Amino acid sequence: MTMDVELRIRRFNPEADTEAHWEAYRVEAEPTDRVLDLLHQVKWYQDGTLTFRRSCAHGVCGSDAMLINGRNLLACEYLVKDAGTRITVEPMKGLPVIKDLLVDMEPFWEQYRSVMPYLVNDEVPEDGRERRQSPEERARYEDTSRCILCAACTTACPVFWTDGAYVGPAAIVNAHRFIMDTRDHAHEERLQIMADPDGVWRCRTVFNCVEACPRDIRITRAIMEVTNEISTVSGE
Protein backbone atom coordinates (compact mmCIF):
# COMPACT_ATOMS: atom_id res chain seq x y z
CA MET A 1 0.00 0.00 0.00
CA THR A 2 1.47 3.33 -1.03
CA MET A 3 1.72 6.23 1.39
CA ASP A 4 1.38 9.95 0.72
CA VAL A 5 4.45 11.47 2.36
CA GLU A 6 5.24 15.12 3.04
CA LEU A 7 8.98 15.51 2.72
CA ARG A 8 10.32 18.77 4.21
CA ILE A 9 13.90 19.53 3.21
CA ARG A 10 16.09 22.27 4.59
CA ARG A 11 17.45 24.00 1.49
CA PHE A 12 20.33 26.40 0.99
CA ASN A 13 21.79 27.65 -2.29
CA PRO A 14 24.81 29.92 -1.65
CA GLU A 15 24.32 31.54 -5.04
CA ALA A 16 20.76 32.67 -4.27
CA ASP A 17 20.09 32.43 -0.52
CA THR A 18 21.32 34.43 2.43
CA GLU A 19 20.09 31.79 4.87
CA ALA A 20 18.62 28.30 4.84
CA HIS A 21 14.87 27.73 4.45
CA TRP A 22 12.41 24.85 4.34
CA GLU A 23 10.76 23.50 1.20
CA ALA A 24 8.01 20.83 1.19
CA TYR A 25 7.41 18.10 -1.40
CA ARG A 26 4.65 15.52 -1.77
CA VAL A 27 5.82 12.06 -2.77
CA GLU A 28 4.20 8.64 -2.97
CA ALA A 29 6.12 5.89 -1.28
CA GLU A 30 5.94 2.27 -0.25
CA PRO A 31 6.41 1.56 3.46
CA THR A 32 9.61 -0.30 2.62
CA ASP A 33 11.06 2.59 0.60
CA ARG A 34 14.03 4.34 2.11
CA VAL A 35 14.32 8.06 2.72
CA LEU A 36 17.01 8.04 0.04
CA ASP A 37 14.37 6.80 -2.43
CA LEU A 38 12.21 9.82 -1.60
CA LEU A 39 15.13 12.17 -2.15
CA HIS A 40 15.71 10.52 -5.50
CA GLN A 41 12.06 11.08 -6.42
CA VAL A 42 12.38 14.78 -5.66
CA LYS A 43 15.73 15.09 -7.43
CA TRP A 44 14.70 13.17 -10.54
CA TYR A 45 11.07 14.16 -10.99
CA GLN A 46 10.31 17.36 -9.08
CA ASP A 47 13.36 19.54 -8.49
CA GLY A 48 16.66 18.74 -10.15
CA THR A 49 18.45 21.45 -8.17
CA LEU A 50 18.26 19.45 -4.94
CA THR A 51 21.78 18.53 -3.85
CA PHE A 52 22.85 15.71 -1.54
CA ARG A 53 25.65 13.15 -1.28
CA ARG A 54 25.22 9.42 -1.75
CA SER A 55 27.19 6.58 -3.30
CA CYS A 56 26.62 2.87 -2.63
CA ALA A 57 23.05 3.30 -1.30
CA HIS A 58 23.45 0.12 0.76
CA GLY A 59 24.68 1.36 4.13
CA VAL A 60 28.32 0.58 3.44
CA CYS A 61 29.96 3.84 2.35
CA GLY A 62 28.22 6.13 4.84
CA SER A 63 28.13 9.05 2.42
CA ASP A 64 24.40 9.80 2.81
CA ALA A 65 24.42 10.53 6.54
CA MET A 66 22.03 13.39 7.30
CA LEU A 67 19.65 14.67 9.93
CA ILE A 68 16.30 12.88 9.46
CA ASN A 69 13.44 13.69 11.83
CA GLY A 70 16.02 15.21 14.16
CA ARG A 71 18.34 12.21 14.22
CA ASN A 72 21.64 11.50 12.45
CA LEU A 73 20.87 8.57 10.17
CA LEU A 74 21.86 7.04 6.84
CA ALA A 75 19.16 7.91 4.31
CA CYS A 76 19.72 4.59 2.55
CA GLU A 77 18.85 2.63 5.72
CA TYR A 78 15.95 4.55 7.24
CA LEU A 79 12.60 3.19 6.03
CA VAL A 80 9.46 5.22 5.38
CA LYS A 81 7.40 2.94 7.64
CA ASP A 82 9.68 3.96 10.51
CA ALA A 83 9.97 7.63 9.52
CA GLY A 84 6.22 8.30 9.12
CA THR A 85 4.23 10.37 6.65
CA ARG A 86 5.86 13.69 7.62
CA ILE A 87 9.61 13.55 7.25
CA THR A 88 12.13 16.34 7.80
CA VAL A 89 15.60 16.18 6.29
CA GLU A 90 18.48 18.50 7.16
CA PRO A 91 22.26 18.54 6.68
CA MET A 92 24.41 17.24 9.53
CA LYS A 93 25.27 19.79 12.20
CA GLY A 94 28.71 21.16 12.96
CA LEU A 95 30.03 21.17 9.39
CA PRO A 96 29.77 23.98 6.81
CA VAL A 97 26.87 23.55 4.39
CA ILE A 98 27.98 23.68 0.75
CA LYS A 99 24.48 23.39 -0.67
CA ASP A 100 21.22 21.89 0.62
CA LEU A 101 22.10 18.57 2.32
CA LEU A 102 25.72 18.59 1.14
CA VAL A 103 28.23 19.49 3.86
CA ASP A 104 31.95 20.19 3.67
CA MET A 105 33.62 17.11 5.19
CA GLU A 106 37.14 18.55 5.24
CA PRO A 107 37.06 19.59 8.95
CA PHE A 108 36.01 16.01 9.76
CA TRP A 109 38.78 14.51 7.59
CA GLU A 110 41.34 16.87 9.11
CA GLN A 111 40.56 15.57 12.59
CA TYR A 112 40.56 12.00 11.32
CA ARG A 113 44.00 12.38 9.73
CA SER A 114 45.38 13.96 12.92
CA VAL A 115 45.20 10.67 14.86
CA MET A 116 47.41 8.72 12.42
CA PRO A 117 44.67 6.28 11.30
CA TYR A 118 47.03 3.69 9.84
CA LEU A 119 49.29 0.87 11.00
CA VAL A 120 52.82 1.94 11.95
CA ASN A 121 55.21 -1.01 11.77
CA ASP A 122 58.40 -1.23 9.70
CA GLU A 123 59.47 -4.64 10.97
CA VAL A 124 59.49 -7.54 8.53
CA PRO A 125 57.59 -10.59 9.92
CA GLU A 126 59.73 -13.63 10.65
CA ASP A 127 57.99 -15.70 8.00
CA GLY A 128 57.99 -12.74 5.61
CA ARG A 129 54.23 -13.01 5.18
CA GLU A 130 52.10 -11.75 8.04
CA ARG A 131 52.04 -10.30 11.55
CA ARG A 132 50.09 -12.79 13.60
CA GLN A 133 47.70 -12.06 16.44
CA SER A 134 45.70 -14.18 18.81
CA PRO A 135 41.89 -14.06 18.67
CA GLU A 136 41.99 -12.21 22.00
CA GLU A 137 44.36 -9.56 20.62
CA ARG A 138 42.17 -9.08 17.56
CA ALA A 139 39.06 -8.80 19.71
CA ARG A 140 40.45 -5.70 21.45
CA TYR A 141 39.81 -3.54 18.38
CA GLU A 142 37.24 -5.58 16.46
CA ASP A 143 34.41 -3.21 17.35
CA THR A 144 36.15 0.03 16.35
CA SER A 145 37.47 -1.48 13.11
CA ARG A 146 33.87 -1.39 11.80
CA CYS A 147 33.74 2.42 11.49
CA ILE A 148 32.64 3.56 7.99
CA LEU A 149 33.57 7.24 8.52
CA CYS A 150 30.07 8.56 7.87
CA ALA A 151 30.60 11.36 10.44
CA ALA A 152 27.19 10.68 11.99
CA CYS A 153 28.68 10.25 15.46
CA THR A 154 30.90 13.32 15.31
CA THR A 155 28.18 15.61 13.98
CA ALA A 156 25.79 14.38 16.67
CA CYS A 157 28.20 15.54 19.38
CA PRO A 158 27.31 18.84 21.13
CA VAL A 159 30.97 19.45 21.96
CA PHE A 160 31.87 19.25 18.26
CA TRP A 161 29.05 21.68 17.40
CA THR A 162 30.50 24.32 19.68
CA ASP A 163 34.22 23.59 19.43
CA GLY A 164 35.59 22.70 16.00
CA ALA A 165 39.01 22.02 17.54
CA TYR A 166 37.64 18.92 19.33
CA VAL A 167 38.94 15.84 17.57
CA GLY A 168 35.52 14.17 17.77
CA PRO A 169 34.19 10.64 18.39
CA ALA A 170 35.02 9.19 14.95
CA ALA A 171 38.67 10.22 15.19
CA ILE A 172 38.90 8.76 18.70
CA VAL A 173 37.32 5.52 17.48
CA ASN A 174 39.91 5.23 14.73
CA ALA A 175 42.73 6.09 17.11
CA HIS A 176 41.42 3.34 19.43
CA ARG A 177 41.50 0.85 16.57
CA PHE A 178 45.30 1.24 16.29
CA ILE A 179 46.09 1.99 19.95
CA MET A 180 44.66 -1.43 20.81
CA ASP A 181 46.43 -3.19 17.91
CA THR A 182 49.43 -5.14 19.24
CA ARG A 183 51.12 -4.95 15.83
CA ASP A 184 51.31 -1.15 15.88
CA HIS A 185 54.43 0.71 17.01
CA ALA A 186 52.98 4.22 17.44
CA HIS A 187 51.10 3.45 20.64
CA GLU A 188 52.52 6.22 22.83
CA GLU A 189 52.53 8.76 20.01
CA ARG A 190 48.80 8.31 19.48
CA LEU A 191 48.14 8.46 23.20
CA GLN A 192 49.93 11.82 23.28
CA ILE A 193 47.61 13.04 20.52
CA MET A 194 44.59 11.78 22.44
CA ALA A 195 45.82 13.40 25.66
CA ASP A 196 45.72 16.85 24.05
CA PRO A 197 43.19 19.28 25.61
CA ASP A 198 41.13 18.96 22.41
CA GLY A 199 41.47 15.19 22.41
CA VAL A 200 39.72 12.48 24.36
CA TRP A 201 39.27 14.57 27.53
CA ARG A 202 36.78 16.87 25.77
CA CYS A 203 34.17 14.10 25.69
CA ARG A 204 31.22 14.78 28.01
CA THR A 205 29.65 11.30 27.67
CA VAL A 206 26.34 12.56 26.28
CA PHE A 207 25.92 9.28 24.31
CA ASN A 208 24.59 11.07 21.18
CA CYS A 209 27.42 9.42 19.27
CA VAL A 210 26.34 5.93 20.30
CA GLU A 211 22.76 6.55 19.19
CA ALA A 212 23.89 8.00 15.86
CA CYS A 213 26.33 5.27 14.85
CA PRO A 214 24.82 3.10 12.07
CA ARG A 215 27.23 0.28 12.95
CA ASP A 216 26.32 0.20 16.66
CA ILE A 217 29.93 0.75 17.66
CA ARG A 218 30.34 1.15 21.42
CA ILE A 219 31.90 4.56 21.03
CA THR A 220 31.82 5.73 24.64
CA ARG A 221 33.39 2.45 25.71
CA ALA A 222 36.19 3.01 23.18
CA ILE A 223 36.71 6.54 24.52
CA MET A 224 36.86 5.19 28.08
CA GLU A 225 39.42 2.56 27.07
CA VAL A 226 41.61 5.22 25.45
CA THR A 227 41.46 7.39 28.59
CA ASN A 228 42.33 4.35 30.72
CA GLU A 229 45.27 3.61 28.42
CA ILE A 230 46.51 7.18 28.79
CA SER A 231 46.28 6.91 32.57
CA THR A 232 48.11 3.57 32.58
CA VAL A 233 50.98 4.83 30.45
CA SER A 234 51.31 8.09 32.40
CA GLY A 235 51.20 6.20 35.69
CA GLU A 236 48.23 8.12 37.06
Ordered structural domains, the chain, with CATH: 3-103 (3.10.20.30), 106-234 (1.10.1060.10)
Alpha helices in the chain (DSSP H): 35-41, 80-83, 106-114, 135-139, 158-162, 169-179, 187-194, 208-212, 219-234
Is the pLDDT reported for residue 235 higher than 70? no
User: In 10 A of CB 177, how many CB atoms?
Assistant: 23
Question: pLDDT tens digits for 11-51?
Answer: 999 999 999 999 999 999 999 999 999 999 999 999 999 99
Q: How confident is the model at residue 224 (pLDDT cuts 50, 70, 90)?
A: very high
Q: How far apart are CA 139 and CA 145, in angstroms?
A: 10
Q: What pLDDT is attached to residue 223?
A: 98
Which pLDDT tens digit goes with each residue over 108-119? 999 999 999 999
- pLDDT tens profile 184-202: 999 999 999 999 999 999 9
β-pairing, 21-29 with 3-11? antiparallel
Q: What average pLDDT does this structure show over 208-222?
A: 97
